[in-house]
Chains A and B, each alone.
Chain A
Amino acid sequence: MILGATMVAQHITFGIIAAIVIVGALRVVTTNNVVHAALWLVAVLSGVGGSFILLGAEFVGVTQILIYVGAIVVLFLFGIMLTRAPIGREVNLTGSSWPMGLVVAIPIAGVLAYTLIDAFGTDHIGNDTRQLTAQVSDTLFQNYLIPFEVVSVLLLAALIGAIVLARKE
C-alpha cells in the first residue's frame, strides 16, 4: 500500500520535473533574451538535479545544484555581462538557419527514442535506489583515485588556460 503510494508519488514528481526540464530547455534555445535564457537554464539544471535525487543519487544531485546553479550559471551571467550582449528583448538570437537545426535535431530525438524504447522498453528501476554518499566517496577514492587526481590537474590546466586566454595583454 505504502509502496504503491510511493510509486505514484515518484511518477508524479518525475512528471513535474520532466515538464520543467523540457520546457526550460526549449526556452533556453528559443528565447530572444540572453538573461532569460540563463534563468531558464537554472530551471533546467535544477530539474535535472531533482531527477538525480529522484534516482537516489543524493550527492550528485546536491553537487549539480551547487556547481551548476551556483557557479556555472553565475559564470554565464558574467560572460553575458562582459561581452555586453544586448540585455533585454533581442529579435535575432536565433540564426536564420533554424530549419537546418530542426532537420538535425528531430531525427536525433527520433533515433534515440526508437533505440531506447526498443532496448530498454520494460526495464524497471527498483524503488529503493538510494546510494549513500559514503559509497560514492569510497568508490571515488579507492578505485578512481588516479582519474580523480587527473581531473584535478585538468581543472588546474583549464584554470590557467582561461586566465591566459582572458588576460588583457
Chain B
Amino acid sequence: MLLNEFLLLGAALFAIGVYGVLVRRNGVMVLMSIELILNAVNINLIAFGALHHTVVGQVFALFVITIAAAEVGVGLAIVLMLYRNRSSIDLDQIDAMRG
C-alpha cells in the first residue's frame, strides 16, 4: 500500500472538517466537525506508525481518542449551557465579541 493513500484520505477529512467548523451554524455540528479533524490526525499517526514499524503512533492515537472524548464531554456541556442561557445554539447569533 502507498503511504499517501492514507495521508491523502486524512488530508481530505481534515479539510472537510475545517469546512464544517467554519460554516455550520449549530454548535453540536461544529463539535462533530472537530471530531472529523481529530480523526484525520489519527489516520496520520497510525499511517506513519505503520511506515516506521513502531507502535508509538498507535499509543498517541489512543491519547488523541481519549482527549477527544474529554473534549466532546466539555464541549457539549458548554453547548448545553449556551442553550440554557440563550435558548439557542445558533452560532450566528453569538456575537458578544463584536468590536
Contact B1 A72 (CB under 8 A): no
Q: Which residues of A contact B56 (CB under 8 A)?
A: 139
Q: Least Cβ distance of B56 to chain A in Å?
A: 7
How many contacts A-B (CB < 8 Å)?
248
A117 at the interface (CB under 8 A from B): yes
Number of chain B residues close to chain A: CB under 8 A: 69
Q: Least Cβ distance of A58 to chain B in Å?
A: 9
Contact A95 B91 (CB under 8 A): yes
A85 at the interface (CB under 8 A from B): yes
Residues 39-59 of chain B, each 1 if its beta carbon lies under 8 Å from chain A, else 0:
100110011011101011111
Contact B77 A165 (CB under 8 A): yes
Contact B7 A11 (CB under 8 A): no
Q: How many angstroms from the CA of A125 to the CA of B73 in the assembled complex?
A: 35
Number of chain A residues close to chain B: CB under 8 A: 86
Q: Which residues of A contact B2 (CB under 8 A)?
A: 122-125
Q: Least Cβ distance of B50 to chain A in Å?
A: 4
Contact A125 B1 (CB under 8 A): yes
Tell me whether A48 and B55 are in contact in the complex, defined as CB-CB below 8 angstroms, given that A34-B29, A38-B32, A80-B28 are known contacts.
no
Q: Which residues of A contact B46 (CB under 8 A)?
A: 51-52, 55, 57, 60
Q: Least Cβ distance of B63 to chain A in Å?
A: 6
Contact A71 B69 (CB under 8 A): yes
Q: Which residues of B contact A162 (CB under 8 A)?
A: 73-74, 76-77
- 23 CB contacts below 8 A, A to B, read A14-B1, A22-B16, A25-B12, A26-B16, A28-B33, A29-B16, A34-B26, A55-B6, A55-B46, A72-B35, A79-B80, A83-B89, A94-B24, A97-B23, A98-B23, A109-B15, A112-B15, A120-B4, A123-B3, A124-B2, A125-B6, A131-B55, A161-B77
Contact residues of B with A, CB < 8 Å? 1-9, 11-20, 22-29, 31-33, 35-36, 39, 42-43, 46-47, 49-51, 53, 55-59, 61-63, 65-74, 76-81, 83, 89, 91-92
Known contacts A29-B19, A57-B46, A83-B28; 19 further A-B pairs (Cβ under 8 A): A14-B1, A21-B9, A22-B9, A25-B13, A34-B26, A48-B39, A51-B6, A55-B46, A67-B69, A68-B65, A95-B92, A106-B15, A112-B15, A113-B8, A120-B4, A140-B62, A154-B66, A162-B74, A165-B78
